[in-house]
Structure 1
Amino acid sequence: MAAIKEIQVTIDCAEPARLAAFWCEVVGYVTPPAPEGFATWEEYHHSLPAEERPVYFACTDPTGKGPRLLFQRVPEGKAVKNRVHLDVRAGAGLVGDERLATLEAECERLVKLGATHLKTLYADGENESCINMQDIEGNEFCLD
Structure 2
Amino acid sequence: MPSIKKIQVTFDCAEPERVARFWCDVLGYVLPPLPGESDEFATWEDYKNSLPPEEQDAWCACVDPTGEGPRLYFQRVPEGKTAKNRVHIDVRVAYELAGEERLAALEAECARLVQLGAAHVETLYDGNDACIVMQDVEGNEFCLT
Fold-level similarity (TM above 0.5): yes
Secondary structure at the counterpart of residue 10 of structure 1:
strand
Q: Which amino acid aligns with 2:13?
A: C
Q: How does 1:63-102 map to 2 (within 5 A)?
A: 63-102=66-105
Secondary structure at the counterpart of residue 114 of structure 2:
helix
State the TM-score, normalized to the length of structure 2. Answer: 0.85
How far 1:123 sits from its partner (Å)?
2.2
What is the CA–CA distance in structure 2 between the aligned matches of 1:105 and 1:26, rounded to whole Å?
13
What is the CA–CA distance in structure 1 between the aligned matches of 2:19 and 2:105, rounded to whole Å?
24
Aligned residues: percent identity? Answer: 65
Q: Residue by residue, what CA displacement relative to the aligned partner does 1:13-32 show, whole Å, maximum 9, x if unpaired?
A: 01111100000000110014
Partner residue, 2:14: 14
Provide structure 1 residue ranges, at least 5 long, that are not aligned to the other structure: none
RMSD of aligned C-alpha atoms?
2.2
Q: Which amino acid aligns with 2:139?
A: G
Q: Which amino acid aligns with 1:8?
A: Q
Secondary structure at the counterpart of residue 101 of structure 2:
helix
How far 1:45 sits from its partner (Å)?
4.8
How far 1:94 sits from its partner (Å)?
0.5
How far 1:3 sits from its partner (Å)?
1.3
How far 1:141 sits from its partner (Å)?
0.3
Which of 113, 116, 124 pairs up with 1:110? 113
What is the CA–CA distance in structure 2 between the aligned matches of 1:14 and 1:44, rounded to whole Å?
20
Deviates more, 1:57-66 or 1:46-55: 46-55
- Alpha-carbon spacing, 1:43–1:95, altered in 2? closer, same or farther (3 Å): farther
CA contact (8 A) 1:17 1:42 kept: no
Q: 4+ runs of 1 displaced by more than 4 Å?
A: 41-50
